[in-house]
Amino acid sequence: MSSPSARQRSHRRDIPAALLAGSLLFVSPSHQPAPRRPTALMLAVGSASAASAEEVVRRDYAISGFKTPPRWELRSRDRGSYPQLLAWAERVQGGERAVMTLVGQRVPVGTTLQTFGEQTAALRKQGRVSSLRVMAQRAAQWPGGQRLQVDAQLVVQEGQRPQVLRQYLFLNPPFGYVLTVVTPVEQAVARFRDLEDTAADLVPLPPEPEKSDRPAP
């Protein structure tokens, strides 16, 4: 297997270190390089488009409304390395870093929110989290009227500070989404509030028809 190019390695330094367990991607802020100057680059590559300076719209994944909360910085993403990473943002406070990500995935026909959420078992198997809890919550604007909330503690590695994770799982067939925040324990209450505000802004869009379903020209 050939080694990654210098360009690929450079791109990977610009995105979060990620654990991809099924459709669940979460990031560990302690593994990141020091924050760089704010960038104005939006996720406007391919079929992605930016509706404003702080909003991400992904019609190819049938979702819009990802907006950065106050004092969060929307960061550019590497479409080639992590195509499912639709958006990510970070917030630095007192030398501590919190990271928020939105991940999308096409799901099989017949997938329910409950079966989509069963993939959280992979997080346990990876041994990177503990005290994992999953609960269903009301989400009137989403198909089925529900979302799943996942809470966990990240297993502390040597030299790291304690961190916690919260995820919201949504389904808008044929897509499933995971909105995640990873934050230092001391900031958890405020960062979870930021996550809730971001989740409230997300809007499921009508999925674009498959190429095979489109009428012939």
Q: What CATH number corresponds to the domain at position 128? A: 3.40.1000.10
Q: Which domain holds residue 176?
A: 6-205
For residue 56, being part of any structural domain is answered with yes
Return the H-helix or E-strand segment holding 137.
strand 129-138
Count the domains in the chain. Answer: 1
For residue 107, being part of any structural domain is answered with yes
- The pLDDT of 154-175, averaged and rounded, is 90
- pLDDT of 195 reads 97
Please check the confidence at residue 17 and state whether its pLDDT lies above 50: no
Report the distance separating Cα 13 and Cα 2, nearest Å: 19
Least confidently predicted of 25-29, 87-91, 95-99, 105-109 = 25-29
Structure tokens at 144: 């089925």
For residue 117, being part of any structural domain is answered with yes
Report the distance separating Cα 58 and Cα 168, nearest Å: 18
For residues 52 and 197, which has the higher predicted lDDT (pLDDT)?
197
Please check the confidence at residue 11 and state whether its pLDDT lies above 60: no
- pLDDT of 149 reads 96
For residue 213, being part of any structural domain is answered with no
- pLDDT of 159 reads 76
